Amino acid sequence: MDKFPYSETILVGYKALVCGASKGIGRSTAMALARCGAKVVVCSRNEEELKSLVEELPGEGHDMMVMDLENLELLDEVISEKLKQEPFHILINNSAGPPGGPLIDNKIQDFEAPFKRHLHASHLLVQRCLPGMTVSGFGRIVNIISTSVKEPIPNIGLSNTLRGAMASWSKTLSRELPPCITINNILPGFTDTERLDSLADSIHQKTGKSHDEINHQWMSQVPIQRLIHPDETGIAIAFLCLPSSGGIRGVSLAVDGGRLRSI
């Protein structure tokens, strides 16, 4: 964004791991944390996108992990090796959502891969990063989930179920983690990402509605009447990671332009 609201040195001395960083909100989050001075390790399956991102990140000492979060055994091996070098003070749990469709149509096996790359991978990463955060006296964990944890979204039943599980997992940990470590959730609304484009394609195929009709229907629900830019969400995530944000714990913050009707 043209004007970045945080100091370029506010996170100097802190190291962050950003999952799902190759595009969209994950990429914007990595940029925001780096602009605050953090050393950032970016993680996704797309090696070329990660290489490009590391080159663009401001500052020095950034790195990448080419990783499929569904491969929990390899994830455990790689993160354990990284932690031998120095601790992660900031952990951003983020991964692509599952395919859309009515929940009743999903088979039991459809739940396995999404739960592995979201809930199971996030839990493993928290367990591995926790000792270093505790010794450092500082930890920030932010989970990028969905507004569906407050108001389920039609036609993405599996995602609704998964995001709800993530929110309950996070809230439970907020009561268990050491005082120096916070855990919070970001709930993105209609955001200008490839994920939203894929959802529009799915709705178009199922209903025959044009993309313009779908977009108009979405925007009619959003008071600011536009899509959220990923950088706006990344800046909100960076805020939750600041040393001065230690009093914010166990919350689910919507970045949705006011779309949620619940309080």
Using CA atoms, how far apart are residues 67 and 116, in angstroms rounded to an integer? 13
Identify whether the C-beta of residue 101 lies closer than 8 Å to the C-beta of residue 25.
no
Q: In this predicted model, what pLDDT tens digit does every residue of 46-75 receive, in sequence order?
A: 999 999 999 999 999 999 999 999 999 999
pLDDT of res. 204: 62
* Distances 57 to 14, 26, 30 between C-alpha atoms, Å: 15, 13, 8
pLDDT of res. 233: 97
Using CA atoms, how far apart are residues 201 and 205, in angstroms rounded to an integer? 6
Identify whether the C-beta of residue 133 lies closer than 8 Å to the C-beta of residue 88.
yes
What DSSP letter does each residue of 10-51 carry, written as one string? Answer: TTTT-EEEEESTTSHHHHHHHHHHHHTT-EEEEEES-HHHHH
Take residue 19 and report the two structure tokens written for it: 């999952």
The reported pTM is: 0.93
pLDDT of res. 219: 78
Take residue 258 and report the two structure tokens written for it: 């006011």
Architecture field, domain 15-193+229-255: 3-Layer(aba) Sandwich (3.40)
Contacts for 2 with CB less than 8 Å, ≥ 6 apart? none
Residue numbers of the chain with a pLDDT score lower than 50? none
